[in-house]
Amino acid sequence: MLKVELVAAGSKPGHALLNIQGWTGDAGALELSIQRNQDQYYLGDQGSWSGQPVWFGISLDAQADGPNLVAEVGPWLVDALLLEPQMVYMLYLRQNALNDKGVLRLKGNLLSSQAAGQSLHQEAHLDRTPKPAPKPEPLPEPAPEPTPASKEEHFSAQRDEADDLADGSSLAAEPRETRPTPPPKPRSKAWLWILLGLLLAGAIGAGVWWWLQQRPAKTEPTPEPTASTEPAPASAPTVSTPTGEAACATEALQQNSDDLAFIRGCLDSKPNAEQVLAVIERAKAAKRCNVVQRLYAFTAQSGNAAVAVAYAAEYDPKTFKAEGCIKSADKETAQYWYEQALVADPNNAQARERLEVLKK
């Protein structure tokens, strides 16, 4: 089992040092794959996650002052892990027929490349090929100064142009012969007859409406009220939104097929450790394993020692159950959650006892 840590590399956002201890093979020509525990998906290209393992080539350097192997990694790994730091990640390392794995722990003040205004995978797509400097454009040659003779010709042409404009303006000022405009043709008076017809039709319509309004309306006899023995209809009950235990109840789990929406509503009701563990048991019975693992992780990371111990027991080889949502026992993952329980409750005897046994 490997001991794997991702440590901040100085103050450069998006970069970190990957420390691996316990690898028995060569340091060069290695491949690694990252798997997260929530849905068992693997890290892929461009920060995506898929159901099949994706292997990345990497070379490790041996440290002079210890047994660790070190490799500097960039935003392709750091940004992807920092998007969801509450998850537990497993690193798989292989070289030909040799392979090993270990829980990847995030150490120090890690920063994503977005803290420096970079994109998620700017490092992977950065073009490092030097480009030739652009050739300077030739400066335009200055126009030759006009000779004295050409200056005189230029002024002469300007004078001629001014004279032509003066002649044109004088011609424009001469009076033109005016022709008498023909008298306007008489317009047809058909529109007047149309207007009179419309006014007459409107007057007739108004008269008919007034005559109809003057006619007395028929009144029907009002039936006498009878004593009713039927009870008044009851007011409709108001529907209240689920609060408290109702948000985490079996009915809410059955009615809400969206795992994240159910988890958010349940956690917003501030359930205690006993209620969270009861919801997890109901989710196990309903085969809602995504709800099980996310409730475990979110509540344990929030500082609930009892839930962290229960989650560690799911991976603990001593208490592992094959028919549950956890596919296989994992000593490293169990150690991680026992450690989280001790962070929340340093006096937790069960977590301390099992952690000492697993570390032997």
- Contact call for residues 40 and 30 (beta carbons, < 8 A): no
CATH of the domain at 292: 1.25.40
Q: Structural domain tally of the chain?
A: 2
User: Does 174 have pLDDT greater than 60?
Assistant: no
The tokens describing 344, both together, are 């929340």
Asked if residue 167 belongs to a domain, the reply is: no
pLDDT digits (tens, 9 = 90+) for 38-97: 788 999 988 899 989 999 998 888 775 566 789 889 898 989 998 888 788 999 999 888
Closest CA to 256 of 245, 269, 267, 247: 247
54/32 Cα distance (integer angstroms): 8
Residue 86 · residue 301 · CB < 8 Å? yes
| Domain edge (last residue) among 79, 104, 125 | 125
Prediction pTM value: 0.48
**How far, in Å, CA of 310 to CA of 300, rounded?**
9
Please check whether residue 150 lies inside any domain of the structure: no
> Do residues 329 and 337 make contact, with C-beta atoms less than 8 angstroms apart?
no
- The number of C-alpha atoms within 13 Å of 128 and in the hemisphere containing its C-beta is 4
Q: Which domain holds residue 60?
A: 3-125
Under the banding of pLDDT at 50, 70 and 90, the label for residue 149 is very low
Check: CB of residue 147 under 8 Å from CB of residue 102: no
Helix (H, G, I), strand (E, B) or coil at 227: coil
What is the reported pLDDT for 348? 96
pLDDT digits (tens, 9 = 90+) for 286-310: 999 999 999 999 999 999 999 999 9
Question: Does a structural domain hold residue 169?
Answer: no
Considering the domain boundaries, does residue 185 fall inside one?
A: no
